[in-house]
Structure 1
């Protein structure tokens, strides 16, 4: 696993992420409209060369070995 970077919700994700991953992250952020996300951040790591972005609430956007992007919501 490689450590990546962190950024605040609403800011531009790292440029090394593909357009599809950025769109998935934007979709997650759109679902958060109306929720106070002040101070929430994404953490980007790389697992076997593929990005894994985790939001402070536990939501995870990842790319699997086939290139498919998934969004995993936190368990309530």
Structure 2
């Protein structure tokens, strides 16, 4: 478990990743929380429909990470 993190099933089967109350916006499709899967960024809500089962590891990085 990661403190203050929640993954919620959103509208239309899209998952919503929320950290400390900051999550995705269904209106803009942009997200301040970016999910990386095998080094590939998924920064839009529509991409979160991926199956999030059989996850070996979760890493949470603090601060701005826009240069990854």
Q: TM-score, normalised by structure 2?
A: 0.30
Q: TM-score, normalised by structure 1?
A: 0.29
